[in-house]
Chain A
Amino acid sequence: MSSRPAPQIGFSFEYLMWIFTRISGLVMYLLAFVGLVMAFWMGAHQQVDIGALARWTFFPNPNHVTNTNIPDVTLGWSNAWWQVMEMLIFLFAVTHGMNGVRVIYEDYIGNTWGRALGRGIIFLLWIFLLIVGIYVILAS
């Protein structure tokens, strides 16, 4: 009956983080799926060790498959492709997780000062974890 203008609203930080959480969740599903399929393809089906398989699925790092019977671990998988895969899933996981911590923290915190402090600490922790994690990935 009446046409009304679509609301023009700028993206808020809360919205961006909310949608990121959902998208990163889906992305991790995708990456984990790739990891799982590749693990099977590369020999996990010969000897199913669920623990190793799970670790492989989420973080395809040679360190995570050391106790499988598949030989030449480091040779086959220490390549740039897997390092990128692992870095991607690590990046999404840590960001998703640290944002989750932020959301939980901010549920409780009403004042602006406390919020800024919390955000600062969580941000530093996030950066720290990323650096350490990427270092470990590159160094292994």
Chain B
Amino acid sequence: MALKRNVGLKGIKYRGGGPMLAWALHRISGLAIVLFVGLHVISSFFMQQLGSDIATALNTVYESIYFQFIVIFIVLFHALNGLRVIILDLWPQLIKFQREATWLQWLIFIPTYGMTVTIMILNQLQGG
């Protein structure tokens, strides 16, 4: 009796490095965005049409600065990683530079996100 085919958590421990991490984050962030946008659309509908309290509460959460930190991280990462994938997919001859591409992506992501967050925090402090 052979063992059942079961990868499960062992897959997470596989040392795939940067590109595998990027893929996992892309998936998770994509699903998160679907959830976020979907709920937002529906709650907007309820707020607009019925003035629902739950919907209003949800929108308050959405507008909090901490939630925005997360959303911006997710959206920015998904967009940048998506751009990397699109470029490599449409020009397969560039795939030999895939390792550099992953580095470049983080090189763009980290300052952009860092700057955004800094400005948001500064604004919050000024406003508060």
Contact = CB atoms under 8 A, between A and B. Distances in A.
A39 interface: no
Contacts of A54: 68, 71-72, 75
Nearest to B41: A133
A101 B27 CA distance: 9
Q: Is the interface of B mostly helix, strand, loop or mixed?
A: helix
Contacts of A133: 41
Given A22-B86, A22-B89, A29-B79, A104 B27 contact: yes
B65 A101 contact: no
B48 interface: yes
A25 B71 CA distance: 18
Contacts of B86: 22, 25-26
A100 B30 contact: yes
Interface stretch (B8-16, B32-40, B97-105): B32-40
A63 B79 CA distance: 23
Interface stretch (A5-13, A73-81, A90-98, A112-120): A90-98
A63 B37 CA distance: 14
A49 B120 CA distance: 7
A28 B85 CA distance: 15
B42 interface: yes
Interface string B68-105: 10011001000100110110011000000000000000
Contacts of B89: 22
